[in-house]
Structure 1
């Protein structure tokens, strides 16, 4: 109960913490890509964009003192976090239940360069052989599993903040 009180009585700090965790997760993703040599799949890239959105929106919500300002950006951050959780859950499902015939798909930028947006966006969410690969694990969970847990945690925190509507500190 004390933790819940701390979260709801200091929403600016909680929102800033969410933004900082998102930035840390993005930095870790860059480390895995550029230092460890792991190539992100289209679903990983979409999750990165969702992380960027959550970080920016939560950061903006933590800056202003007006209730309407932080609640508006909080709702938008909640939507972005829910979207990220959906994509991470879908990728986790694909990793647990890989399709019989996995083909290696194009990367996100290759899709955008060679196809119209109306054709590229559905291709991103179809998943490819790359999206089913588990190249890195921590405590038995893949990147997609941990990403889902983080997005779900952000969603719960944001929902608690919005429903409790804590005072500004």
Structure 2
């Protein structure tokens, strides 16, 4: 029996939760210590991290013994991580556009949430705005959405581990 197959739901969930905490600490540190203001797509990526963290926290507390619970938490976690991957990918795509193809800047997220229905806000944010195409920070030549995409790909190991746990041979 390999070491990975001995890991319980709680182990995979705590690992995923810990990685979510690290991702949020980096995001909040860049915002509050470095002074980088998050754009609407950055905020949506944070929501995906928090959603995944909540799934992992509940899974760790519940720690189901059967296959069904591990599969359910794995699928929920993978859904949250997949949403984050999609938003980060979209953000990178916006940043790759030539300047003349970048959408114009729209109203702020707070304003949109105050006056528009949630579905319309989501559609407007995902269609992008000029502020989301700005590259304010590079680390090793990669922008923040690129690093966030890498983070989500690494984070995907936790729900995949839960699914592995659920569907491994017994």
- State TM-score, norm by structure 1: 0.85
Could you say which residue in structure 2 is the equivalent of 1:22?
Answer: 20
Q: Alignment partner of 1:100: what SS?
A: helix
CA contact (8 A) 1:60 1:70 kept: no
For 2:20 and 2:26, locate their aligned partners in 1 and report how far apart those are by CA, in whole Å.
10
Deviation at 1:41, TM superposition (A): 0.9
How far apart, in 2, do the equivalents of 1:50 and 1:143 lie?
15
Give the alignment of 1:144-163 within 5 angstroms.
Answer: 144-163=145-164
TM-score of the superposed pair, with normalisation by structure 2: 0.85
SS of 1:110's equivalent in the other structure is helix
Aligned to 2:100, the other structure's residue is in SS state coil
RMSD across aligned positions (CA): 2.2
Is the Cα–Cα contact under 8 Å of residues 81 and 156 in structure 2 kept in the other structure?
yes
Aligned twin of 2:106? 105
Structure 1 runs of 4+ off > 3 angstroms?
5-8
Cα deviation 1:84-103 (Å, max 9, x = unaligned): 00110111111122452542
Alignment of 1:1-169 (within 5 A): 5-11=2-8, 12-66=10-64, 67=66, 68-98=68-98, 100-102=100-102, 103-165=104-166
Shift of 1:111: 0.9
> Which segment is superposed worse, 113-122 or 82-91?
113-122
Identify unmatched segments of 5+ residues in structure 1.
none
Q: Which moved more, 1:85-94 or 1:99-108?
A: 99-108
Q: Determine the C-alpha separation between the residues in 1 that align with 2:127 and 2:90.
A: 10
Partners of 1:158 and 1:152 lie apart in 2 by: 11
Cα distance in 1, alignment partners of residues 87 and 164 from structure 2:
25
State the distance in 2 between where 1:8 and 1:107 align: 47
> How many residue pairs end up in the alignment?
164
